[in-house]
Amino acid sequence: MEQIGDMKFVDFEEILERDLGKIGTPKRDEFERKVNETVKKEFSVITEFFAVEKSRLLGFNLVFIPCKSFANENSLQEFFH
């Protein structure tokens, strides 16, 4: 922690260790796993979106539909009707 005037600056790693424990503890490992899983999923969606946009620029007619936004098959069918 660093203090400048009346303000205290805390490194993000310090906050993680304080609230979740050090790397290797069950709570921290679960947090790290969830973060990594979420980042991978979001990156996949973003990558697909940019691939579709790039194909449009090249003249292909593709549509990007982020499937995770549909709770179930019925909501997907409602989207298309």
pLDDT band at 62, cuts 50/70/90?
low
pLDDT at residue 76 in the model: 46
Which has more pLDDT, 81 or 59?
A: 59
On average, the pLDDT of the chain sits at 79
- pLDDT confidence bin for 68, thresholds 50/70/90: low
Q: b/e map of 47-67 (b: 16 or more CB within 10 Å)?
A: eeeeeeeeeeeeeeeeeeeee
Of residues 44, 42, 62, 43, the one with CA closest to residue 52: 62
Helices (H), 1-81: 12-20, 26-57, 73-80
pLDDT at 59: 78
